[in-house]
Structure formats: C-alpha cells, structure tokens
Amino acid sequence: MRTNEDLLSALPADGTLSGRTALVTGSSGGIGEAVARVLAASGAETVVSGRDRGRTRAVADAIGAAGGRAHALTADLGAEPAAVRAFAREAEDALGGRVDILVNNAGVYPGVATAAVTDDEMQALWATNIRAPHVLVAALAPRMAERGSGAVVNVGSWMARVGVPYKALYPATKAAVEQLTRAWAAEYGPHGVRVNTVAPGATATLGTASSADTLAAMTKATPAGVPVRPVDIAYAVRYLVSDEAAFVHGATLDVDGGLSATRLR
C-alpha cells in the first residue's frame, strides 16, 4: 500500500472543483493538510489555515509548487467568536469574496480520565470542536445560500458512537458535530448548500505518531487491517463537496477501514 506522503506528492491534477474556492481549517498538517492538497489538486483555490505560521505557509507553498492556488492564514479556532468571524472574513477576502467549500477540520483531542480533565482543556474542546464550526457556518453558509450553492463538510470521528475509556468529552463533541450536520443540512439544504460529515477512524498522522503501536493494534482486526491515511479522508471530502454527491445531505461517511461497523474476531 502506498504511503500518505507518496500519494500527496503525486496527486494528479483534475478539474473536478475548478472555479470553486475552499477554506480548510486546521490544515497545516495531518488530515487537514491532505484535504487542502487534494481539493487544490482538483482545481479549488484554497485557504490553508493553522496556528503555526511556518507550517501553514509550507502547506500553501507545496500546493503552489504542484500547480495549485493556495493562501496561508494563521488562525486559532479556539479563540473568541469575534476573532473566528474575523478569520472567516479574512478567508473570504483572500478568496476573492466568496467561500464555496468549508471544511471544519480543526480540533483538539486531549485523552485523559474524566476527573483529570482541566477547566482549560474542557473549554478548548468546546470552543474548537463545536463553537468554531458553528461560528464559521453561521458566517459563511448564509452567503452560500444566497448564491444558491455551496458545501460544508465537518470532520467527525468514529468515536462519536462508541464509548471509549478516558475520552468522554472528545467523542461527545464529535457526536455534537454529527447532530449539527443533520440540522444544518435541513436548514441550508433547500437553498443549495449541502452539509455532511466525514468520520475518520484510527488515523496515522504526526499527531498520533507516539501511539503508532496502539493504532496498529486497534486496526489489525478491521477489514482494512491498517490505520487510515489522511489522504483517504481527503478523497472522501472531495467526493462530498463535488457534484457527484449532489443528493448527499446530512450524511456521516465513515472512513475508518471498517472499525465501527465490523468485527473480524
């Protein structure tokens, strides 16, 4: 199986999303980076965002080197709502006044016992994983609706529907994301804006590198047999924002190698 890095470095260019603009939050690495690079390879002018200026710029530069168009914006999605709304306006300005595709990927995921979760961690989970997507959708989806077209993809998690020890709040935020997706699909779908969720499984990223053995053990008994690659999630996002998914509204697409749906032993 080809690695995530090999696939990202050799993405074929196509016009699937030609003429469209995209904002991908938390795209300075991992899943978000893969999404930004795949959407850009398919023709979308893309805003790459992250908290680290250097990493964010590097992803935008990689997109440019591959022939795509990208802008690097530094943003903290755990900031107060006014700052997140200002970031939405900045992204719109960078993209010529419109965002056609919004991918709410940024998230935090502390994994500790319930009693050990600090107030700051609790606030960060709420602010980044739930409040920021809500603020961005409230800022951008109405303008998509005015134009009669647009797509929002929220990045959830396989853990949203499974009880996992030492991770109570993080899956709860992702369960909330799935419900927001259904509600937003009902609210904005009649106006041409499709809203869906992609739910990754155990994914191999730099952020999970220290848990590589755990990921391998978790996925060994799945049909895929190995951890998910970020690019696999990016392919699913590209499908959901493309015209091929014109009749997909309010869905959660699991990209988890069968982790949540099957048991081989």
Which residues are identified as catalytic?
170
What residue has token string 């220290």? 210
- The tokens for 76 are 């903290």
- The tokens for 47 are 């805003």
H-helix segments, the chain: 4-9, 30-41, 53-65, 81-94, 119-126, 132-147, 169-188, 212-220, 230-241
> Do 42 and 101 meet the contact criterion of CB atoms below 8 Å apart?
no
CB-CB neighbours of 115 under 10 Å: 5
> Do 28 and 55 meet the contact criterion of CB atoms below 8 Å apart?
yes
Secondary element (H or E) of residue 252: strand 252-255
Return the ∠ at Cα 157 (arms to 9 and 31), rounded to 5°: 15
> Do 239 and 195 meet the contact criterion of CB atoms below 8 Å apart?
no
- Per-residue b or e along 192-215, where b marks 16 or more CB atoms closer than 10 Å to that residue's CB: ebbbbbbbbbbbbbeeeeeeeeeb
Radius of gyration of the chain measured on its C-alpha atoms: 17
